[in-house]
């Protein structure tokens, strides 16, 4: 936590900050151990103050703020994020040649991401997602990006943090569209980085991060994981194969696809991959519509400091001992895979661990 739906929700909630200029960066005084900030805070501040937030993107489970000099953002970085949810007309869509999205990623979003995204209007228009392309020439030095990685308990907000004591960073804005962006983090495992385009590509390019879970096709998913001996539920957490899925949604996805979470990837048939792909789209789409899952610890909140409500739709996660909501023939079981809890139904999630391919 937070996973793709929660981070997508954070991105949409801070979208009104697009177009604002950063006038200061403050790390509130605290006895808590600082989150990881790179470069160090004084260098970070010097490089971002005076820059305009030209766009917001999501790379897997990270919020990315695109910076531009002054008010006139590079045309290819023109914002398109704030929509009807925020009470303002939608602005010019981003052109498809945006330097921070790979051509293939843009194409996939247009081809099959858009239809799923149409349902999201109630929580704001979708945020562009995908890996940066390799920078060339001036781009490498010209563009800079603030990458906020919530990790376990981080939140990116415009206002109303759950408490003030765990606010780790405050980007003060010129107030024209938003007054500030807050990075709040209960446990302090989050990371804030300022990266040039080249560094962004090196850290979060296609060699490091797989296609976004909402944009990947069933064929690509199968190509990337189909030869793996790993259990399917463990493999779905591999961010270099597919980006955005974490422990909670992986369990819900394999239950929705009726596949035993311990099934080795290489034993799955094409039809299984199609079901897994469809489950990824359905579960993540619905979770975004409900603005993510707030678990018992209450840590995850949306921008208005209210909880997400997808947790009421969980069918296996955290339901050990409860009756399966699909088949009603068995109770949900908890097992441990790769040091993480997995919840599943032994009756309707069928296995092929020992036999031939299903
Ligand atoms: Zn069942």
Calculate how far, in angstroms, residue 320's C-alpha sits from the geometric centre of ligand 1. Answer: 12
Calculate how far, in angstroms, residue 116's C-alpha sits from the geometric centre of ligand 1. Answer: 27
For a pLDDT cut of 90, what percent of the chain falls above it?
69
Ranges in the chain, pLDDT < 70: 70-123, 137-141, 352-358
Chosen CATH of 4-204 out of 3.40.190.10, 3.30.9.10, 3.20.190.10, 3.40.50.880: 3.20.190.10
* Spatial separation of the C-alpha atoms in residues 177 and 20, rounded to whole Å: 6
Extract the tokens encoding 309: 């409500």
Calculate how far, in angstroms, residue 257's C-alpha sits from the geometric centre of ligand 1. Answer: 11
- Strand ranges, E, within the chain: 22-26, 36-38, 51-59, 62-69, 128-129, 144-149, 154-157, 167-173, 180-185, 191-196, 333-337, 340-344
Tell me, what's the pLDDT at 196? Answer: 92
Extract the tokens encoding 93: 């869509």
Tell me, what's the pLDDT at 175? Answer: 84
Cβ atoms 5, 292 nearer than 8 A: yes
Calculate how far, in angstroms, residue 322's C-alpha sits from the geometric centre of ligand 1. Answer: 10
Tell me, what's the pLDDT at 228? Answer: 98
For 205-230, how does the pLDDT look when each residue is reduced to its tens digit (9 = 90+)?
999 999 999 999 999 999 999 999 99
Domains 4-204 and 218-344 share a fold: no
Calculate how far, in angstroms, residue 315's C-alpha sits from the geometric centre of ligand 1. Answer: 9
CA–centroid distance for 308 within its chain = 15
Calculate how far, in angstroms, residue 24's C-alpha sits from the geometric centre of ligand 1. Answer: 53
Of the candidates 320, 339, 348, 316, the residue with the CA atom closest to the CA atom of residue 231: 339
* Spatial separation of the C-alpha atoms in residues 354 and 252, rounded to whole Å: 23
Tell me, what's the pLDDT at 352? Answer: 58
Give the containing element (helix H, strand E) for 10. Answer: helix 4-14
Tell me, what's the pLDDT at 355? Answer: 46
Calculate how far, in angstroms, residue 197's C-alpha sits from the geometric centre of ligand 1. Answer: 47
Q: What architecture does CATH give domain 218-344?
A: Orthogonal Bundle (1.10)
- Residue ranges of domains in the chain: 4-204, 218-344
Cβ atoms 111, 86 nearer than 8 A: no
């Amino acid at each position: 936590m937070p996973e793709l739906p929660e981070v997508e929700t954070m991105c949409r909630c801070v979208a009104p900050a697009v177009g604002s200029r950063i006038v200061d960066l403050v790390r509130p005084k605290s006895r808590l151990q600082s989150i990881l900030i790179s470069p160090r805070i004084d260098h970070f501040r010097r490089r971002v103050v005076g820059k305009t937030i030209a766009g917001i993107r999501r790379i897997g489970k990270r919020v990315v703020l695109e910076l531009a000099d002054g008010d006139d953002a590079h045309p290819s970085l023109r914002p398109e994020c704030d929509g009807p949810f925020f009470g303002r007309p939608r602005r010019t869509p981003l052109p498809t040649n945006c330097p921070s999205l790979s051509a293939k990623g843009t194409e996939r979003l247009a081809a099959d991401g858009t239809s799923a995204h149409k349902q999201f209007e109630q929580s704001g228009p979708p945020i562009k997602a995908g890996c940066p392309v390799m920078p060339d020439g001036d781009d490498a030095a010209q563009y800079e990006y603030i990458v906020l990685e919530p990790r376990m308990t981080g939140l990116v907000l415009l206002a109303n943090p759950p408490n003030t004591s765990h606010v780790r960073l405050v980007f003060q804005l010129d107030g024209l569209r938003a007054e500030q962006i807050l990075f709040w983090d209960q446990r302090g495992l989050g990371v804030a980085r300022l990266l040039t385009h080249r560094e962004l590509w090196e850290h979060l390019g296609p060699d490091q991060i797989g296609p976004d879970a909402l944009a990947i096709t069933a064929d690509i998913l199968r190509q990337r994981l189909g030869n793996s001996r790993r259990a399917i539920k463990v493999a779905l957490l591999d961010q270099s194969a597919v980006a955005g899925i974490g422990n909670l949604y992986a369990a819900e996805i394999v239950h929705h696809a009726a596949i035993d979470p311990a099934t080795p990837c290489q034993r799955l048939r094409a039809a299984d991959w199609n079901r897994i792909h469809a489950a990824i789209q359905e579960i993540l789409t619905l979770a975004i519509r409900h603005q993510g899952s707030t678990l018992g610890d209450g840590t995850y909140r949306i921008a208005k400091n209210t909880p997400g409500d997808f947790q009421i739709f969980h069918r296996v996660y955290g339901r050990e001992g409860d009756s399966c909501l699909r088949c009603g023939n068995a109770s949900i079981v908890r097992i441990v895979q790769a040091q993480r809890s997995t919840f599943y139904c032994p009756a309707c999630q069928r296995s092929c661990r020992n036999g031939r391919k299903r």
